[in-house]
Amino acid sequence: MPLHVLPAPAPALRSVLTALSSPTAVSEARTPSLLGAQGPVSPELPLPVHVLDRATADGTTATRLAGWRFLIRAGDRAVAAAESVPTADGWAFSRFFEGPYIPSTELALRQAEGMTQPYQPRLLSVPGLYMLALWLHGDPTADGATGHPGAADLLVPLAPAPPGIAAHRPYRVAELLPVLTHRVTPPTPLMGSPA
């Protein structure tokens, strides 16, 4: 298998396991699939979630680690996801959720397993486009908490993808980055604040 899934930081996993064992946390999540899951549920496939804060047409990117996402499996399928986020005191459970990105992530990971080159799977969030992509990092031994998309890395937009960007199609970062750069609108400064 060419995917080298990194282990999540132990405190991040522990925070998700604690939330899963808490009836209050699960019921407050209001995710019907998680509430209705039959049998035991378990967090699997931890993926570091990076946020693309800035991208330029020349390939310069600024990303930051925003957390770790776990697919929550019940039986033979993922029914929800959970996130743990870094805080000043370590890692803390953030939320449970469900929706189209869960099956889309599973599909993208299955497709990536069929590739011949080894990759380290990560998630890349592009808030300005409401886009999430599976980021296949070309260095499978890299620290999952650091780094930027390299020109040879692959991005697989998850469904639903923004108009004009095909979901589940692997793009080289060098191919997709200029498209993202032109589409993301820089934030408008607030009145009275410096530009």
Cβ within 8 Å of residue 77, ≥6 positions away: 106
| The two structure tokens encoding residue 96 | 């449970």
By C-alpha distance, which of 127, 105, 117, 122 is closest to 51? 127
Model confidence band, residue 195 (pLDDT cutoffs 50, 70, 90)? very low
pLDDT tens digits along 127-146:
988 999 999 999 999 999 99
The model's pTM is 0.88
By C-alpha distance, which of 9, 30, 12, 27 is closest to 94? 12
Percent share of the chain, pLDDT over 70: 89
Q: Is residue 149 pLDDT above 60, yes or no?
A: yes
pLDDT tens digits along 76-114:
889 999 999 999 999 999 999 999 999 999 999 999 999
